[in-house]
Homo-oligomer: A and B are copies of this chain.
Amino acid sequence: MTNKNDLEISCALPIGQYDKIVMAHGGGGRLMQQLIDNIMLSAFGDSSLKEKNDSAVLPEQSGRLAFTTDSYVVNPLFFPGGDIGKMAVCGTLNDLAMSGAKPLYLSCGFILEEGFAIESLQKIVQSMAQQAKAAGVEIVTGDTKVVEKGKGDGIYINTSGIGVLETTLNISPSRIKTGDVVLINGDIGRHGISIMAEREGFHLEEPLESDCADVSGLVADMLEAGLDIHCMRDLTRGGLATALIEISVAANKHIKLQEADIAIPKTVRSVCELLGLDPYYVANEGRFITILPAHQAEQALAVMQAHPLGKNAAIIAQVENAESGLLSIKNKIGTTRILQLLSGTQLPRIC
């Protein structure tokens, strides 16, 4: 018998003896401590998490703060191009970036369903850790709850985030002006359609991956270039159309999209046609729009295209005067249609 085995036996109920989550993993006792020590702390590494206090204490920050929260309930948990863990970290980093903030700290709250495979949890946590490390942010505080089988769906994750605004820019729809242009950092529809295809077991001719990515580095480049960004928004639930409709209403402007300038992957287009979906409303997880003065458009485009997550950036719309918010799109034969807020969603649980 090796030393390693001795150690395991001396510890009454090592996590290694469980391959599924049991209710006691959420009970605050020894099993929960082992779960947190062996799965969460071993992945998230050195940080104030290790102190296991009720709160993380963080150094003073100079500058305004950004604060955001998102719960992730995506189904399936693993999909081409990512998993719920990668998404939970990227999504919250992106929300911070959209306000012009540099992401610094994340929290994570897990709601685990009894019976969830510990191997899957491990993969998801490692994916979160990897993504946070790549972005240079720390996961500093967390929480784990367990609910009975049939009261959850494997795992739900909440990530909240704190960032600091190193810019004095006020990034808000209220700053949008007539004559501004709208840029996007790439094509649309990859996330929603890849989730949908995975869920429904579609066999796609050309493989499609989610665009799930942390765009905060790209946004940092744009801020560093001194662009006078008026508004940014990531294009998650509800896609490009929903984000721009909301912005047009908040700004009281008419935003005019040009269909010819918006890239839609062939597979996204085919699946949308097959199912009667409108790709402008399909969710993305690594795409965002930026609205800024027209005279900075070319400079912005150059900065974006120099970054891997912006290499297919394009100018897709102009902002015009309006009595009330409006989003329209002109197609390739010159006809214009109005895009309206859908009642609900085309595809549930894509984030």
Chain A residues at the B interface, C-beta cutoff of 8 Å: 12-13, 22-33, 51-73, 94-96, 98-99, 101, 105, 107-111, 140-143, 145-148, 150-153, 156, 158, 160-163, 165, 172, 233-234, 236-238, 242, 246, 250, 283, 341-346, 348-349, 351
Contacts and interface: CB of A to CB of B under 8 A. Distances in A.
A243 to B, nearest CB: 9
A242 B51 CA distance: 16
- State the number of copies, please: 2
Contact of A27 (B51, B64, B348): B348
Contacts of A345: 23-24, 26-29
17 contacts: A24-B345, A26-B349, A27-B342, A30-B342, A32-B344, A54-B99, A55-B68, A55-B95, A55-B96, A59-B65, A60-B61, A60-B62, A68-B141, A69-B141, A146-B348, A147-B349, A148-B348
Nearest to A158: B158
Given A27-B345, A109-B158, A145-B71, A233 B52 contact: no
Per CB-CB distance, the 9 closest pairs between chain A and chain B, nearest first, are: A24-B344, A27-B345, A28-B237, A28-B238, A69-B107, A160-B160, A27-B344, A158-B158, A55-B68
Contact of A28 (B25, B71, B242): B242
B147 A150 contact: no
